[in-house]
Chains A and B, each alone.
Chain A
Amino acid sequence: MKIDIINATKTIGKATVLKDVALSLEGGRIYGLQGPNGSGKTMLMRLMAGLIRPTSGEVLVDGKRLGTDMDFPPSVGMLIENPAFLPNYTGLKNLELLASLKNEIGTDRIRETLTRVGLDPNDKRRVRKYSLGMKQRLGVAAAIMESPELLLLDEPTNALDDKGVECIRGILRKERERGALIVMACHDGELLRECSDEILKVQNGQVEREDAV
């Protein structure tokens, strides 16, 4: 997958949340978004996910324009801000319901993904009984279960313990090897630099490239 953001500016109300962003992102790489709170990292991810439309400029996914040729990228997994699930269903049931929309994967694959993120697929507890960390893991599972070509992860290590962070590291590595285009925002600068092929510095809605160490 290839994403081209061509001079995209986004204004919401009186605030310009993205200013003249020009980027070209390719599959098989991890792009780390670095920047302070409110700098526009999440908005950039929403733009790539098709959740917001640029006020000017355009976003191309494999040459097709988001918003006119398609509403959303055809293969995208995302964890943007807090993971939200149906509280009265188990984690497995939640993922089954989400997966039923695309009908690309079955229960076995979902169980496998749950195990991958460190959750028990046989856990009968409803999501409302989950801890924050478990919800975060479930959010990551929802994002990766269909092996999307574009993976957008906003603070994927939120509320995770060391073991959970290590698990995310492994997942990122595997997904990159698979060829996914991964965009990740994370406040853990060390993790971001360690995992990313390229760092994108976001400041006041503007994006600058910086090669990772």
Chain B
Amino acid sequence: MNLPKLISHDLRCGLLRPRCLLIPIMAALPCWLCHKIAVTAGFNCGWGGYLMYCFMGIEPINILDTMEKTQLPILWLLLISGCLYLNLDYMLNDLSLTGQQIIVRSGNRREWFISKCIWNLLSCGVYFIIVSATAAVFSLFTGGDLSLRCEGAALNILYRGEVDAGTVSSFTVLAVSLLLPYLTVSALSLLQMTLCLVLKPILCFLLSEVVLLVSVYWSSPFILGNGAMGIRSGLLTASGVDPLTVCGECVAIMLLCAGLGTWEFKRSNIIGAKE
């Protein structure tokens, strides 16, 4: 059983890479905008408020309504896609470098792929930890408190009155702005990695982006992306997407990817990413 050693290799090589330095920059953009809104409205945004704004997303759009202006939640897309992009090529790069020596020594393709799945989950976790830390630092520097709790009035301004929640508890903020986006991104990232076994990485990334774009224009818990938008969460608004359905869907996709990926990888050619 080499799984722990394989995971240890992935943590050593794939978790904290230089490109992770981009994460605080990506997270700082929505935080800065959130701060501007708070200053204009005359309130102090705390850690919870910044996080809620980062993963706000966009209110449901009726694509049949031609009067409605086409909108895109650029910052939300940037934050979600950032994680997908950072995780995109590690598996194939590793396979063309030291990974070949590792996999042959491990003697087991299945364990190697499972290790990559676990790495994927951990890597997404690190991404969200860095985003949260960036929001916390923003909160500290702008005089906000380090509590995840978000005042109803502040949320009402940040979410443009789209949600009917009062003051939001720390647990709800944690679920809406960290847990659900984390699960959604992890499922998409794992799907992307599994597809990389049969398609070029750039195509897999574009497919992930298509899923995210579809989710912007189609509010349904069954389309990955909706669960990562706070403004559409069933925890904040009665007509929102059910968080339990989102959790179940994400876990099901992850298990399916791990199963299908292992099966496909057992018969894949290992000839390096550049060939």
Decide whether A and B are members of one complex.
yes
A101-B105 CB under 8 A given contacts A51-B271, A84-B97 = yes
Chain A 64-79: CB-based contact to B (< 8 A → 1; otherwise 0): 0001001110101010
Question: What are 16 residue pairs bridging A and B, where the CB atoms are less than 8 Å apart in the complex?
Answer: A12-B269, A12-B271, A51-B104, A51-B270, A52-B269, A53-B269, A71-B109, A72-B103, A76-B104, A84-B96, A84-B97, A84-B100, A84-B101, A85-B98, A86-B13, A97-B9
Contact A101/B270 with A84-B100, A86-B13, A86-B98 known, Cβ cut-off 8 Å: no
Complex formed: what's the CA distance from A50 to B9 in Å?
21
Q: What residues of chain A lie closer than 8 Å to B98, measured between beta carbons?
A: 84-86, 98
Report if A46 contacts B (CB, 8 A). yes
Q: Which residues of A contact B (CB under 8 A)?
A: 12, 46, 49-53, 67, 70-72, 74, 76, 78, 80-81, 84-86, 97-98, 100-102, 142
Chain A residues, Cβ within 8 Å of B106: 101
Min CB–CB distance A98 → chain B (angstroms) = 6
Known: A84-B98, A97-B12. 13 other contacts (CB 8 A): A46-B271, A51-B104, A52-B269, A52-B270, A70-B107, A71-B108, A72-B104, A74-B107, A80-B100, A84-B96, A97-B9, A101-B6, A101-B102
**A51 & B108 in contact (Cβ 8 Å cutoff):** no
A102 / chain B contacts, CB cutoff of 8 Å: 105
| A70 to B9 CA separation, bound complex (whole angstroms) | 22
When A and B form their complex, what is the total count of cross-chain residue pairs whose Cβ atoms lie within 8 Å? 58
User: In whole Å, how far is A81's beta carbon from the nearest beta carbon of chain B?
Assistant: 8
Given known A84-B98, A84-B100, A86-B98, contact A52–B105 (CB-CB < 8 A)? no
- Per CB-CB distance, the 3 closest pairs between chain A and chain B, nearest first, are A84-B97, A51-B270, A101-B105
Please give me the residue from chain A that is nearest to B110 by CB atom: A71
A80 to B97, CA, bound (A): 11
B160 on the A face (CB < 8 A): no
State in angstroms the CA–CA spacing of A67 and B107 once bound together.
11
Tell me, in angstroms, the Cα distance from A46 to B269 when the chains sit together. 9
Q: Which of B95-130 contact A (CB under 8 A)?
A: 96-98, 100-110
Q: Return chain A residues, CB-CB under 8 Å to B13.
A: 86
- In the assembled complex, B19 has its CB within 8 A of some CB on chain A: no
- Decide yes or no whether B5 CB sits under 8 A from chain A: yes
Chain B contacts with A in 237-275, Cβ cutoff 8 A: 266-267, 269-272
> What bracket does the count of chain B residues touching chain A fall in?
20 to 34
CA distance A78 to B105 in the complex (A): 10
Chain B residue with minimal CB distance to A142?
Answer: B101
Q: Are B107 and A98 in contact (CB under 8 A)?
A: no
The yes or no answer to B2 lying at the interface (CB within 8 A) is yes
Given contacts A46-B271, A52-B269, A67-B267, contact A78 B12 (CB under 8 A): no
Name the residue in B106, B107, B109, B266 with the highest tally of chain A Cβ atoms < 10 Å from its Cβ. B107
Residue pair B107, A53 in contact (C-beta under 8 Å): no
Our pick among A50, A100, A142 for the contact of B5 (Cβ within 8 Å) is: A100
Q: Which residues of A contact B108 (CB under 8 A)?
A: 71
- What's the minimum C-beta distance from A109 to chain B, rounded to whole angstroms? 15
Which residue from B6, B12, B107 sits with its C-beta under 8 Å from A72?
B107
Expressed in whole angstroms, the Cα–Cα distance for A56 and B110 within the complex equals 22
Specify which of A53, A78, A101 is in contact with B267 (CB 8 Å cutoff). A53
Nearest CB to that of B9 among chain A residues? A97
> Which residue of A51, A53, A70 is within 8 Å of B100 (Cβ)?
A51
Cα distance, A112 to B20, chains bound together (Å) = 38
**For B270, what are the chain A residues with a Cβ–Cβ distance below 8 Å?**
46, 51-52
Nearest B residue to A51 via CB reads B270
CB distance from B107 to the nearest CB of A (A): 5
Bound complex: CA of A51 vs CA of B102, how far in Å? 12
